[in-house]
Amino acid sequence: PYRRFMARRFARVVCDIDGVPVALYNVHLETYGADKPWDDDALRDATDRRSRVRDFLQTYRLAIASRENQAWVVRKRLEEEPLPFILLGDFNATRHQHVYREIAAGYSDVCVGLSWLEGGTYHTALPLVTIDFIITSKHFRTEDCRIVDLSVSDHRPQFASIVFLHPPQRPQ
């Protein structure tokens, strides 16, 4: 599971921003899967309902455990990161869940000031929750953040303008 996560759901590149190297991370933490019990016609059939719900709950439990582990891996990488960093991605968790707190604690959530009335990032059809985030090291401050309707995904993207809090010394 660790290698699969690192290979498919976790990427790091180093970018040059105004002559300063910055680590840019992109993550996509584990989801519950495409099958949701409320979309399952089998649940309408009382003869199969119990086994279908049991199967879904098992999948749900495994996804939560996997996501918790992935959050721990991301956190450890950020703690070891020597460069200023920007982490973006789909956490598949809200700010109220442990996964978010594990990753974001002590760092800056760029769009934390947006209320749910300004819109969430998921689902595009009815965006009530935010599960996509931009987290930065304390080297940055946010000038602007907004969520935009693009209708190209089931998620709505966050657009942010961030700047260095104190312009770092450029490497020689």
- Tell me the pLDDT tens digit for each residue of 8-66: 688 999 999 988 999 999 999 988 766 665 565 655 665 667 777 788 888 888 888 98
For range 143-171, the mean pLDDT: 83
Per residue in 138-148, pLDDT (tens digit) is 999 999 988 88
Q: Which comes out higher in pLDDT, residue 169 or 21? A: 21
Place of tokens 């899967």: 33
Q: Are 97 and 67 in contact (CB under 8 A)?
A: no
Higher per-residue confidence, 127 vs 74: 74
Distance in angstroms (rounded) separating the CA atoms of residues 25 and 10: 7
- pLDDT over 60 at 1, yes or no: no
What is the average per-residue pLDDT within 82-91? 96
- Report pLDDT for 149: 81
* C-alpha–C-alpha distance, residues 6 and 2, integer Å: 6
- Give the model's pLDDT for residue 112: 86
If one compares 162 and 41, the residue with the highest pLDDT of the two is 162
Mean pLDDT confidence for 93-108: 95
CA distances to 31, 68, 81, 162, 171 from 148, in Å: 23, 28, 30, 17, 36
Q: Residue 41 corresponds to which amino acid?
A: D
Q: How far apart are CA 170 and CA 172, in angstroms?
A: 6
pTM of the prediction? Answer: 0.84
User: In the prediction, which pLDDT does 88 show?
Assistant: 96
* Position 33, amino acid: G
User: Higher model confidence: residue 172 or residue 123?
Assistant: 123
Cβ contacts of 25 within 8 Å, gap of 6 or more: 10, 11, 12, 74, 77, 78, 85, 86, 87, 88, 89
